[in-house]
Structure 1
Amino acid sequence: MASVPSLSASLQQRVSTALTAAVPSAEGADPLLRRSDRADFQANGVLGLAKRAKTNPQALAATVLAQLPPDDLIAGVEVSGPGFLNITVADAAITANLARRLDDDRLGVPLKPDPGITVIDYAQPNVAKEMHVGHLRSSVIGDAITKILRFAGERVIPRHHIGDWGTQFGMLVQYLIEHPHELDHGGDEADGEKLDGEESMSRLDRLYKASRKVFDSDEEFKDRARRRVVDLQAGDKETIALWQQIVDESKIYFYSVYDKLDIQIVDEDIVGESAYNDMLVETCRLLEESGVAVRSNGALCVFFDDIKGKDGEPVPLIVQKADGGFGYPATDLSAVRDRTANLHATTLLYVVDVRQSLHFRMVFETARRAGWLTDDTTVKHLPFGTLLGKDGKPFKTRAGERVRLEDLLDEAVERATAVVREKGEKIGLTEEEITANGVQVGIGAVKYADLSTSLGRDYVFDLDRMVSLNGDTSVYIQYAYARTRSIFRKAAAGQTAKAHPELPLAPAERALALHLDAFGDTLAEIATVYEPHRLASYLFQLASLFTTFYEQCPVLTAEGGPAEVENRLFLCELTARTLHKGLGLLGIRTPERL
């Protein structure tokens, strides 16, 4: 496997060399190369360089042009406007570069030159509570970023910081002690059958509601529950065992939801709030001894000059409460210590909604002051917006309750299956194929709607639009992939995919080919900025360009004869593999027939 430099990267190097030859003091100058409507690429770096060199930009552009004689890569260059260089790439170079990509398992996409260790915190459901629509974005975004970074060669360690600790567990455990069969399964799992997530959630919901009812009406039970919290925090064996039973029951439910969402969650990545309990006292001691945190009205606080409330008074980060209890800041700071010191993370990512922005800003600054975050560690909160209903308000049921995540996914699959059935029956899909494709299209539609939205923006959840075959949807992209597969099924014996660099490219072929060549550059950028919507945008544009190519350039009946058929099949095959890989990195499946 060998990486294949993109045409853009090769041009970048050539133009940079020409700029240095024209202005020796500008060694390594950025040619500011961009795709262009007037040519294949436009180099805009001459203008800034001319200004620094105090020379005429058009004259400098002419000098640079003289250093760029046409070669096997560059078919032509012309100066336009005040000094722009419009560059046209040779057709043969385009096809040859794509041929090298198709020969590589990674489509020529290079690995990061300096991969590190990224710990990414995402998918944070709460134990003994149902997952709702608010858990969707963190899970989908975090999973896509994980896949993209791993493909880039980064070592990625997911951390699912589940809510598995707190005072409510005293109530749950105490009730379980007094009603020991509340979480009994009935023995089905002993026969090797798959544990049912819905049943697990039903048991947990029943436990929570029953214990809450007694807690609110029985003062003696309330006292016993509060004492049980102390036992839990002290590590009492019986209490811990029952708490673990509640956590394990919740995991059965979590796994069933993530299985439906087509996201793999494994036990070793689930490191909840409880995992940092033993570090909390030491975290506070280190902060206080170093002077980073101070006592204020009995609480241990960290103050910031630039963070003030509406009254103008400083808003502190409260690491330890006056009663000795610990909140989220202590846990999150302990997690930073663990992830940098023990996991040796070079990058920390937190996929958490935008409402936590101030919290993470304060936590990160505190960790820097304490020396737990250094200049060698990149730390980023990747805040995401809210899922909205068609009324523009946070997405809820008609009764005003949060929508269950499973209900949302089930409805998406139901709608998608109807769309697949309408189209699939015309092409002879079996009932089994319709059902399987309905799941892949429905779940893909939900994920794509999320991932095609830039992180900080809210977006409207509209299933009718999401499962449409038209517009910027995953279904449109999946259909483009299925169309490439259909072409190969219809190909006659002897019609195979093969690159022919000697053939000229039609405009639609060139547009498709140049976009295919940019796949690696796109992924490299995303692995740096952590914005999966850029990949979604790239794939939608690729599907659109392929559709234009399909309409304008007959593949199996190409007029240019067998060589042109092979060359166009070659473009179809690379398009298919790029769509498959790109959607896969977003966690979206690609049905072979749609």
Structure 2
Amino acid sequence: MKMIEDLISDILKGAFMRCNYDSVYGKVTLSNRPDLCQFQCNGCLRAAKEYHKSPQVIAEEVMTQLGDVSCFKKLEYVKPGFINISVDDGLILEYINDMANDISFGCEKRGTGTTIVIDYGGANVAKPLHIGHLRPAIIGESIKRIGKFLGYTVLGDVHLGDWGLQIGLIITEMKRRFPDLVYFDSNYEGEYPKEPPFNISELEEIYPMASNISKSDSEYLKEAKKNTYLFQKGHKGYIALWKHILNVSIDDLKKNYDMLNVHFDLWKKESDVQGYIPDIIEDLKNKGVAYISDGALVVDVKKDTDKKEMPPCILVKSDGATLYGTTDLATIYERNKSYDPNEIIYIVDKRQELYFEQIFRCARKSNLVSEGTKLTYLGFGTMNGKDGKPFKTRDGNVMRLENLINELIKIVYDRVKEYDISTKEAKEISRKVGLAALKYGDLSNQLSKDYIFDIERFTSFEGNTGPYILYTVVRIKSILEKYYRIEGDLNDKDVSIISPTGESERKLMLKLTLFNQIVTNSFIEYAPNKICQYIYELSNEFNKFYNNNKIITEKNIKKQRSWIKLIILVKDILVNGLDLLGIEVPDRM
């Protein structure tokens, strides 16, 4: 289905053309003054400059062409150059009835044939997820879901860090603690144990201790770097330990991501692309793209148009070591080779903007990616405490993501447990509501902006919050259950939504027609916050309608059935919108 704005725009564009004006001036938008009209066209003001006429003359000419258009209830010229439009209820009714009978609620599968890879994990093995991993995970998951809903082939990649110094540090600390393990015996020829010599709790204790020691003990750090080198060169015992680290870490990461309702299509790792690096480096040398500077191999990526300093992209350091950038270039190459994507999106902290600009320019200059592949960097802002500083625990440490989730769930559980429900159900409701509070509180903000993490506000059942949206859905479910108990199931294919009898009903219907537009724009603009704002406004319109009408006791059967079908559509749109945000809905609250 076309967006309703486009349907109305097409009519206005035809009128502009019949008056010998460019059709571009017939573009219609939703009115920013809903008290005056539903839609507005601002083209007369801009056309006046090109055609050297007054906006009013152009508007009157155009409106004359629209006099017999049945779908318009009211057309009015307003200075300095607007055409205010209110449409006939019939147009809205036809639109929302079509939405109600469409599995995608009118959203076109505009992404068919387009492949997108989204890099939105960034977790490292052997390290627990902390709150810094929250934003990329839930933003990326939402953009991926929206894209898939619109028909795009979207592959979400966790892109695990598993090849750096942290592996050498763990090996060093394990060797210090357990020198007799077979992994450290250079004469060992047998099969290495299938069971790891540590569990996730022990592994998560080993790495930070090793990291702290290395900061003050230069010999320890030197040993860790040596072990990293040996591991990367294929030391059998160290490779066996690394595989244990991977298995234990990935199992735990999947558990935590599942808790967030975040699911990756690809569990690729830095190690997966290491085999490409030697050939890429050699190719860039042969092409003359890479050259030696102060002992390091670099690629110059600056442009004549740059207004700020753009350092070269370093591929190999003077000591022979490759960097994260080298791995990221190889990853772009591997993604291009394996999936031939139309776009690769990186969702990363906004402080890494310069780094990704270097990487993208280097990939382009080196022909590591197809010319038609779009490389997109989405830099997200930080989650701050009420003091305006990055959110931390009371003792000043970075909070583990699992602990933050559990804290939110407990806050909700302390409220829910007072209801007359089982402990099991209370815990399940608390889990869904707590995660909704966390994810909606984050996603409702513009991606690039910093925001204040306010637990009290996010968990409130009032205002622009996740729990408020969930409560609205549960309220509709309750109304429908009452109706079904009294009247039986509604055969909604034989029922149509009929003309509104009040303004709150009309506004609710109009808000429903915007779903297609909101979902499409939220994907084009990488802006899940647009869906948050929409479902919040839709919830408000529903609650106004509900307070103005007695649905269950309505005596007019045709009107009552129309209302039931209407609120089913509202429920389905809200549930679908929440699902695009990665938020689950409880059966009751």
Q: Which amino acid aligns with 1:160?
A: V
The Cα shift of 1:147 comes to 0.6
The Cα shift of 1:233 comes to 1.6
CA 1:294–1:252 in structure 2 vs 1: closer, same or farther (change >3 Å)?
Answer: same
Work out whether 1:258 is the aligned partner of 2:253: no
Residue aligning to 1:469: 461
Counterpart contact for 1:95–1:499, Cα < 8 Å: no
Q: Distance in 1 between matches of 2:438 and 2:497?
A: 40
SS, match of residue 351 in structure 1:
strand
Q: Which amino acid aligns with 1:347?
A: E
- Equivalenced residue count is 568
Residue aligning to 2:247: 248
Identity %: 32
Q: Gapped runs of 5+ residues in structure 2?
A: 184-194
Find 2:280's aligned residue among 283, 299, 302: 283
Q: Which amino acid aligns with 1:54?
A: H
Residue aligning to 1:420: 416
Find 2:565's aligned residue among 559, 570, 576: 570
SS, match of residue 415 in structure 1:
helix
Residue aligning to 2:339: 343
How do 1:229-240 and structure 2 match up within 5 A? 229-240=228-239
Find 1:401's aligned residue among 397, 400, 403: 397
The Cα shift of 1:78 comes to 2.2
Residue aligning to 1:513: 509
SS, match of residue 382 in structure 1:
strand
Q: Which amino acid aligns with 2:128?
A: E
How do 1:501-580 and structure 2 match up within 5 A? 502-558=498-554, 561-580=556-575
Counterpart contact for 1:7–1:517, Cα < 8 Å: yes
Work out whether 1:434 is the aligned partner of 2:397: no
TM-score, length-scaled by structure 2: 0.90
Find 2:140's aligned residue among 142, 145, 153: 142
Q: Distance in 1 between matches of 2:24 and 2:310?
A: 47
Q: Distance in 2 between matches of 1:511 and 1:170?
A: 62
Residue aligning to 2:189: none
Residue aligning to 2:56: 58
Work out whether 1:161 is the aligned partner of 2:155: no
Residue aligning to 1:105: 103
Q: Which amino acid aligns with 1:95?
A: L
How do 1:90-489 and structure 2 match up within 5 A? 90-112=88-110, 115-173=113-171, 175-176=173-174, 178=178, 200-208=199-207, 225-265=224-264, 269-305=266-302, 315-373=311-369, 375-422=371-418, 425=419, 428-489=420-481
Cα deviation per residue 1:271-329 (whole Å; 9 max; x = unaligned)? 1211121122222233333333321100122335469999x976332221011101111
Q: Which amino acid aligns with 1:365?
A: R
SS, match of residue 106 in structure 2:
coil
CA 1:72–1:432 in structure 2 vs 1: closer, same or farther (change >3 Å)?
Answer: farther
Counterpart contact for 1:200–1:253, Cα < 8 Å: no
CA 1:179–1:254 in structure 2 vs 1: closer, same or farther (change >3 Å)?
Answer: farther
Residue aligning to 1:189: none
Work out whether 1:493 is the aligned partner of 2:487: yes
Counterpart contact for 1:12–1:31, Cα < 8 Å: yes
> Over the residues paired in the alignment, what is the CA RMSD in angstroms?
2.8
CA 1:537–1:32 in structure 2 vs 1: closer, same or farther (change >3 Å)?
Answer: same
CA 1:23–1:499 in structure 2 vs 1: closer, same or farther (change >3 Å)?
Answer: farther
CA 1:342–1:58 in structure 2 vs 1: closer, same or farther (change >3 Å)?
Answer: same
Residue aligning to 1:88: 86
Q: Distance in 2 between matches of 1:509 and 1:161?
A: 47
Counterpart contact for 1:39–1:88, Cα < 8 Å: yes
Counterpart contact for 2:28–2:39, Cα < 8 Å: no
Q: Gapped runs of 5+ residues in structure 1?
A: 184-194
Q: Distance in 1 between matches of 2:478 and 2:145?
A: 28
Counterpart contact for 2:39–2:86, Cα < 8 Å: yes
CA 1:512–1:227 in structure 2 vs 1: closer, same or farther (change >3 Å)?
Answer: same
Counterpart contact for 2:301–2:362, Cα < 8 Å: no
TM-score, length-scaled by structure 1: 0.89
Q: Distance in 2 between matches of 1:503 and 1:330?
A: 62
Q: Which amino acid aligns with 1:571?
A: L
Q: Which amino acid aligns with 2:442?
A: D
Q: Distance in 1 between matches of 2:120 and 2:111?
A: 26
